[in-house]
Chain A
Amino acid sequence: MYNFAHYDQTIVCMLFYFCRFFLFFVLISLSLTGYSQNFGVSGIVRSAADNEALIGATVSVPQLRIGTTTDAKGFYSLSLPAGTHELQTTYIGFLPATQTITVTTSAQTINISLQATENQLREVVIEGNSLQRKLTDNRMSVEQLSSVEAKLLPALFGEVDLIKTLQLKPGVQSGGEGSSGLYVRGGGPDQNLVLLDDAVIYNPSHLFGFFSVFNPDAVRNVELYKGGFPAQFGGRLSSVLDVRMNQGNNEKLRTSGGIGLISSRLSLDGPIVKDKLTFLVSGRRTYVDTFTRVLNKMNEDNKEYSPIPDYYFYDFNARLNYKPTPNDEITLSGYFGRDFFTFDDADFNFSFDWGNTMGVLNWRHDYNSRLVSNTSVSATGYQYNIQNQIDVFSFNLLSDVKDITLKTDYIWTLNDKHSIKFGAQATDHRFTVGRLNFKSDDANQNFSAGNNYKASEFGAYISDDFTVNPLLSLNYGLRVSGFNSQGKTYAALEPRAAARYSLSDKTSVKASYASMMQYIHLVANSGASLPTDIWFPSTPRVKPQRSQQVAAGISHLFGDGKYLVTNETYYKWMHRQIDFRDGANLFVNDSLENEFLFGKGESYGNEIYFEKIKGRTTGWIGYTLSWTYRQFDEINEGRRFPTRYDRRHDMSLVLLHKLNKRLSLTGAFVYGTGNAFSLPVARFAFQDVQGEEPSYVPIYEDRNSFRLDAFHRLDLGVVWKLKPKRGEADLTFNAYNAYNRRNPYFVYFEQLKDEEENQTIGFRAKQVSLFPVIPSVTYNFRF
Chain B
Amino acid sequence: MKRFLYLALPLFSIVGCNMEKEIEIVLPPHEPQLVVECYLEQGRPFQATILETSSYFDAPTPPIVPDAEVYITFRDKRVKLTYRPGFNNRTNSYYTHSSYAKMYGKPGEVYGIEVTDSKGRKVTGFTTILPKVPISKVEWKFNNKDKAYLLTTFQDDPNIRNFYRYMTHRDSLQRGSQREFTTNDELTNGKETSYGSAYDYEEGDTLILSLFNIEEQYYEFLRSAEDAKNSNGNPFAQPAKVRSSVQGGLGIFTNLAVDRDTVIIAKP
Contacts and interface: CB of A to CB of B under 8 A. Distances in A.
Interface of A: 157, 176, 207-208, 210, 262, 288-289, 291-292, 308-309, 311, 341, 347, 390-393, 440, 442, 444-445, 449, 525-528, 530, 580, 582-583, 589-591, 678-701, 703, 705-706, 742, 745-749, 759-772, 774
Contact of A288 (B10, B28, B59): B10
Interface in B5-19: 6-15, 17, 19
Contacts of A682: 27, 30, 32, 53-56
Contact of B92 (A681, A691, A770): A691
Nearest to A690: B173
Given A683-B56, A769-B19, A690 B177 contact: yes
Contact of B23 (A526, A760, A766): A766
B80 interface: no
A331 to B, nearest CB: 35
B196 A691 contact: no
Contacts of B21: 742, 766-767, 769
A749 B56 contact: yes
Name, among B176, B177, B241, the residue most crowded by chain A CB atoms within 10 Å (CB to CB).
Answer: B241
Interface in B21-53: 21-25, 27-28, 30, 32, 35, 37, 39, 49, 51-53
A145 B176 CA distance: 58
Contacts of A341: 7
B19 A768 contact: yes
Interface of B: 1, 4, 6-15, 17, 19-25, 27-28, 30, 32, 35, 37, 39, 49, 51-57, 59-60, 62, 91-94, 141, 143, 149, 151, 167, 169, 172-177, 186-187, 194, 196, 198-199, 210, 212, 223-225, 227-229, 231-243, 250-251, 256
A697 B225 contact: yes
B205 to A, nearest CB: 16
A772 B15 contact: yes
B51 A685 contact: yes
B169 A690 contact: yes
A580 to B, nearest CB: 7
B114 to A, nearest CB: 19
B242 A681 contact: no
Contacts of B35: 684-685
B11 to A, nearest CB: 7
Contacts of A680: 56, 228, 231-232, 239
Name, among A444, A525, A699, A700, the residue most crowded by chain B CB atoms within 10 Å (CB to CB).
Answer: A699
B85 to A, nearest CB: 13
A292 B237 CA distance: 29
B232 A774 contact: no
A312 to B, nearest CB: 9
Contact of B232 (A308, A698, A703): A698
A699 B141 CA distance: 43
Contacts of B13: 292, 308
A309 B12 CA distance: 13
B198 to A, nearest CB: 5
Contacts of A748: 232-234
A698 B228 contact: yes
Nearest to B167: A690
B194 to A, nearest CB: 6
Nearest to A288: B10
A690 B92 contact: yes
Given A445-B196, A689-B39, A691-B91, A747 B23 contact: yes
A558 B3 CA distance: 53
B20 A767 contact: yes
A4 B177 CA distance: 52
Given A591-B186, A766-B20, A681 B51 contact: no
Given A681-B27, A691-B176, A747-B23, A208 B7 contact: yes
13 contacts: A440-B196, A444-B194, A445-B196, A528-B236, A583-B243, A689-B39, A690-B92, A697-B225, A697-B229, A745-B19, A764-B57, A765-B22, A770-B12
Contacts of A765: 22-25
A210 B94 CA distance: 47
A173 B114 CA distance: 51
B247 to A, nearest CB: 15
Contact of B25 (A689, A706, A768): A706
A681 B227 CA distance: 16
Contacts of B186: 589-591
Contact of A311 (B10, B14, B17, B93): B10
A109 B14 CA distance: 56
B43 to A, nearest CB: 16
Given A687-B93, A690-B169, A768-B19, A527 B54 contact: no
Contacts of A764: 22, 57
B167 A697 contact: no
Contacts of A772: 15, 17, 19
A508 to B, nearest CB: 43
A746 B60 contact: no
User: Which are the 7 A-B pairs with shortest beta-carbon distances?
Assistant: A746-B235, A526-B236, A691-B92, A748-B233, A678-B239, A700-B239, A685-B62
B236 A766 contact: no
A391 B169 contact: no
Contacts of A685: 35, 51, 62
A583 B240 contact: yes
Contacts of A442: 141
B223 A699 contact: no
B54 A683 contact: yes
Contact of B20 (A688, A768, A771): A768
Given A526-B1, A583-B227, A742-B21, A687 B240 contact: no
Contact of B6 (A309, A686, A694, A705): A309
B15 A763 contact: no
Nearest to A708: B23
B174 A749 contact: no
Contacts of B60: 696, 759-763
B196 A393 contact: yes
A704 B229 CA distance: 17
A691 B174 contact: yes
A527 B234 CA distance: 11
Contacts of A762: 57, 59-60
Contact of A699 (B22, B91, B250): B250
Contacts of B227: 582-583
A430 to B, nearest CB: 24
B53 A683 contact: yes
Contact of B7 (A311, A445, A526, A747): A311
A289 B7 contact: no
Contact of A527 (B14, B52, B187, B236): B236
Nearest to B29: A681
A690 B37 CA distance: 13
Contacts of A686: 37, 225
Given A690-B167, A700-B239, A684 B62 contact: yes
B10 A308 contact: yes
Nearest to A156: B11
Contacts of B169: 690-691
B120 to A, nearest CB: 19
Contacts of B236: 526-528, 530
A691 B56 contact: no
A391 B14 CA distance: 33
Nearest to B143: A391
Contacts of B14: 262, 288
Given A527-B236, A691-B173, A679 B53 contact: no
Nearest to B60: A760
Contact of A526 (B11, B173, B210, B237): B237
B240 A700 contact: yes
A481 B54 CA distance: 53
A157 to B, nearest CB: 8
A556 to B, nearest CB: 42
Contacts of B92: 690-692
Nearest to B226: A583
Contacts of B10: 288-289, 291-292, 308-309, 311
